Amino acid sequence: MNEDFLKDIQSVHFIGIGGIGVSAVARLMLTRGVEVSGSDRGASLITEKLEKEGAKVFVGHDHTQVPEECDLVVYSPAIEDTNPELILAHERGMQTLSYPQALGMISRGMRTVAVSGTHGKTTTTAMTAEVLVSAGKSPTVIVGSLLKSGTNFVAGTSNLFVVEACEYRRSFLNLSPEILVITNIDNDHLDYYGTIEGVQKAFAEMVEKVPRQGAIVCDPNDARVAPVLMNAKARIVDYTKENLAVVLAVSGEHNIKNAKAVLAVMRVLGVDQGEAEHFLKQFQGTWRRMEYKGETKGGTPVYDDYAHHPTEVRATLQGARAKFPDARIRVVFQPHLYSRTKLLLNDFAVSFDDVDEVIVATIYAAREVIDPTISAEILAQHISDAQKVSHLRVWAMLDFLTIENYLRETAKEHDVIITMGAGDVFKVGESILG
């Protein structure tokens, strides 16, 4: 742990404390005996859990909620400059850090394993954490999802720090990795980077941050990864050469690749390979990664998945088809961001070949304003037009209640229902459980 950073910190206020990443840093502070307060636009299971753990949480944002004796204010990247709490912090001259900057401060002075990549980084981070914890290595862990234990943070006692390293807005460049994992590089966050070359440039800068005595775990023969390795100082460890001798509990070829990357990390850290494989075999996944939610009254299983990029959608649904070869697989897909849906429209259109039905919900805007040139109806039409299989049925349904009623009326025992997307589509699945 970066003791120089933390030694004078007695009180921290978090703006956007309910976020999956920000809340993990809040938990870290709580385990250090730091007084924690924070605000978010709404209450959630995350904020409720933080309150039980000792944080003071406010619903809504107001300058009066920032403690007068606050040593540090940490804010989510989603928080705008006009936020009244952030304005007050600046006016008072308080130390302020964005969430990525706070991760960077924690990372300094620790043996940081930074797990990056367009797809698979959450699952790979969670796999890495589970193996290291089970092997008694006691890492500190911050992951961008909830582990099966129900938390996004693990308080360790060793100098190992395992962290999910997000490339959006070059956030991961705040970290100081000793081991860098690159699962893959793909077209994403093009609203910020513009092109795949822009994405690669950020990864190349991340590669250069890894010291000579460190390691970069990746597939060096991947056409999009190879160019970012040109100026690497650290040794390159090819995870594709790892021999995975166990059958995983999580489905899909993508998870086999994730597991191989974890094995490569364990080899670098000196963890026994047989032991690592044993713990990987026990890995049950993370929150919103083909997470089993339960069954409808009629016995139809319901799953939920966070996939929101065409490559992720395709890989997840291929895994679902392999797991349920004879089922009628029905997907409720909620596109995430107007810009992503528009830029990757043709890629999304060919991502659903392995299922039998796609219900496209209204686009989840998140940080964006409505773009009338792209919609659920347009995406549904593109999916329908692009299909090579005649059995696929595609609909656009613009409100959750309509989708829920339709699924309740039509779900059969041999069906499998999957809600999919990075927004709030999981609520549909939860509402139809028996």
d(CA 4, CA 208): 25
Which whole-number Å values give the CA distances from 187 to 119, 122, 200, 305, 338, in the listed order? 10, 17, 10, 20, 15
Output DSSP code: residue 218: E
Q: Which of 112, 122, 128, 183 is catalytic?
A: 122
* Token digits of residue 353: 């070949």
* Sign of the torsion angle spanned by Cα atoms 188, 190, 195, 197: negative
User: Active site includes 241?
Assistant: no
112 labeled binding residue: no
Q: Which residue has the tokens 């990390």?
A: 265
Q: Is 156 annotated as a binding residue?
A: no
| Catalytically annotated residue among 121, 137, 257, 260 | 121
Other C-beta atoms closer than 10 Å to the C-beta of 230 total 9
- Longest alpha-carbon distance in the chain: 65
123 is in an annotated binding site: yes
| 304 close to 334: Cβ distance less than 8 angstroms | no
**At residue 56, what is the residue type?**
K
In angstroms, the CA 223 to CA 219 distance is: 9
- Contact in structure between 113 and 178 (CB atoms under 8 Å): yes
Token code pair at residue 243: 């021999």
322-328 long-range contacts, CB within 8 A, separation 24+: 322/251, 322/252, 323/251, 324/416, 326/414, 327/414, 327/415, 327/416, 328/356, 328/357, 328/412, 328/414, 328/415, 328/416
Whether residue 410 is annotated as binding a ligand: the answer is: no
| Nearest of 210, 171, 174, 164 to residue 189 by alpha carbon | 171
Q: Is 52 annotated as a binding residue?
A: no
Is 121 assigned a catalytic role?
yes
How far apart, in whole angstroms, are the C-alpha atoms of residue 65 and residue 308? 35
CA dihedral 265→287→403→424, nearest 10 degrees, is -90
Q: Which of 35, 85, 164, 404 is catalytic?
A: 164
Give one DSSP letter per residue of 294-329, joined into a string: EE-TT--EEEEE---SHHHHHHHHHHHHHHSTTSEE
Q: Is 122 annotated as a binding residue?
A: yes
- For residue 336, say whether it is annotated as part of any ligand binding site: no
413 a catalytic residue: no
Q: How many residues does the chain have?
A: 434
Summarize the annotated binding site as residue ranges: 117-123
Summarize the annotated binding site for ATP as residue ranges: 117-123
- Residues annotated as catalytic are 121-122, 164
